[in-house]
Structure 1
Amino acid sequence: MKVSEILSKDFIIEELNSTDKESAINELIDLFKDDPRIINIEKVKQAVLEREKIMSTGVGKGFAIPHGKTDSVKEIIAAFGRKKDGIDYEALDGNPVNLIFLLVGKDTMISAHIKLLSRISRMMNKDDFRLRLLNAKDSEEIMNVFLEEEKSYLEI
């Protein structure tokens, strides 16, 4: 499964309105309000925020990968948001976060969830990739950055 198979430009926010971690996570999850793949959006929020309490998913270098697993989704869903000014995300390196990739997995699809988290992490650790995401002009260009980057990865 590829990141580009679960992310679409409809679930990309070019510039988040949020100024803190919890509201940024909620802003991304709210993109799925009327999505038929969601059984209970409040339980989705709860799963992601509960995971966040264990340890910040702000992993450093200006990016975060909030994630969770729940039976309140019918399949793995993803969203991406950008905040050029950065958000105080309580990141592990103490720096603000500009790029947030939300991943919510179905609790019976643990292997696919872990593989996707690993792939997203590898992609986001690349300086040039993060820079291209920050400089992309709109959601379509952001999606194209993901598509181009993923061409260099083997199928998982």
Structure 2
Amino acid sequence: MRILLLVLLLTLSGFAGARVEYKEFANAEQQQAYDDLISELRCLVCQNQTIADSNADLAKDLRRQVYEMLQQGKTKQDIADFMTQRYGDFVLYNPPFKAKTGLLWIGPFMFLAIGLIAVFVFVRRNKTRAVAPISAERQQKIQSLLEKGDKS
């Protein structure tokens, strides 16, 4: 019984190290701005997660930095501008349309258009391919083979 209890306690002790981040805000608008920002900023370590979802040390630092900047009275736009100035447009999940990010926005449509054009050309080429007429000699040979098949 003691061994079972020890195993149970050791199994559950893994959860003891898990922490919940708690931030105190002056008002609901700050809380909403914080939630929006950490959901819009990409974790530069994980790259497919927001800093809200990531447990990487850099994501924790960025969450802390966003919190501190909000406490200093900075706006969402100020914080987003600071992050993009420091880390580039990649830090945003929805990067703005610029010359640098144009390929990200236009690329999928270009590939779709190229694919549709390729399919159209392929289908059209196969449709217009002329069928060579069968010579009279060959037609007689086919007819004789068909007649042999009917007799057997």
TM-score with structure 1 setting the length: 0.25
| TM-score normalised per structure 2 | 0.25
- Select the structure of larger CA radius of gyration: 2
More helix, by proportion = 2
Q: Which has the higher contact order (CA 8 A, sep 6+)?
A: 1
